[in-house]
Structure 1
């Protein structure tokens, strides 16, 4: 089913660990930790929302663990500092990513590192020719993460969100 290896790669400081359907079912309603030891302020709202999408994908029979969500785990202490993942499997060569960090982990480069790992993972998959991301207009910190990770601004989405794209090479 999955066309990319799971788990995703790791860097010297972080590892992206698959959030399984069971962990997602615990995280989505906001009552559990999904088996992760979270940094203060985590998991953040976006991670819980992504877990809700995993639960729906499983229920609909379309879940693919290679294109789901991952916990961003800090290797120094094993704490999950955020979440990163895909909005679904590739569609016509494109895949969209999303990410967030616990407030206590922000400003330390973890988001940029996670985005680089996630995009490398995606672009190594057969048939993926671009990675997309959208941010809230006022979220300049997230826009800076994308630019540091090699994305370029590519206009706005239909709902007015700034759109960023990363192409191979």
Structure 2
């Protein structure tokens, strides 16, 4: 058993522009990495990532202003290792709701990076006057994500289902209830 004290992780986000997202959606890891200006992991061309990045690339083609909100590569500080991707599903809607999403590359899981990503995303949301509510949708069997949001103040508000995600539990937190962690 490792008895070393846990050191909180820090991440910074690197934009994945429409060209990077399109390259990754097409399975072009080298092209996506070149567009992003960082070496991305194979995770970024997995089937899951290719579907999501294709969706986000199309979203940015329709609404370039969404780029400020959507998927970014998460980079560990200070070592510069790409540890996952995170962002919002788009800008706040007309009611001020925004949805978070994050994924940690398999080799970096269970090391605090998801918590660091969520902390940074929530701080960004809380700093934006147009954001009133932050939503997270998580599959009931995704214990890692459920554990990640625990302690942040999210409240379970219901369930939703769709063809791609299946049934998910919906959690929300008012932006003015987000506290720095």
TM-score where L is the length of structure 2: 0.77
How big is the shift at 1:45?
A: 4.9
Distance 1:76 1:25 in 2: 28
Structure 2 residue runs without a partner (length 5+): 1-7
Distance 2:144 2:52 in 1: 20
Q: Which residue of 1 aligns with 2:43?
A: 42
Distance 1:148 1:106 in 2: 19
2:157 pairs with one of 134, 154, 159: 154
Q: Deviations over 1:76-120 (max 9, x none)?
A: 332211101111111111001111111101000100110110111
Structure with the higher fraction of residues in helix conformation: 2
CA RMSD of aligned residues (A): 2.2
Structure 1 residue runs without a partner (length 5+): 1-10
Between 1 and 2, higher relative CO (CA 8 Å, sep ≥ 6) is seen in: 1
Residues 49/135 of structure 1: CA separation in 2 closer, same or farther (3 Å cut): same
Q: Is the partner of 1:71 in helix, strand or coil?
A: strand
2:13 pairs with one of 10, 16, 25: 16
For residues 1-169 of structure 1, the aligned pairs below 5 Å read 13-33=10-30, 34-35=32-33, 36-39=38-41, 42-43=43-44, 45-91=47-93, 92-159=95-162, 160-167=167-174, 168-169=176-177
Does the 8 Å CA contact 2:86/2:103 hold for their aligned counterparts?
A: yes
Q: Deviations over 1:42-76 (max 9, x none)?
A: 22555433321221023324542211111110123
Distance 2:96 2:63 in 1: 22
Does the 8 Å CA contact 2:9/2:112 hold for their aligned counterparts?
A: no
TM-score where L is the length of structure 1: 0.82
Deviates more, 1:73-82 or 1:100-109: 73-82
Aligned residue-pair number: 158
How big is the shift at 1:12?
A: 6.3
Q: Which residue of 1 aligns with 2:4?
A: none
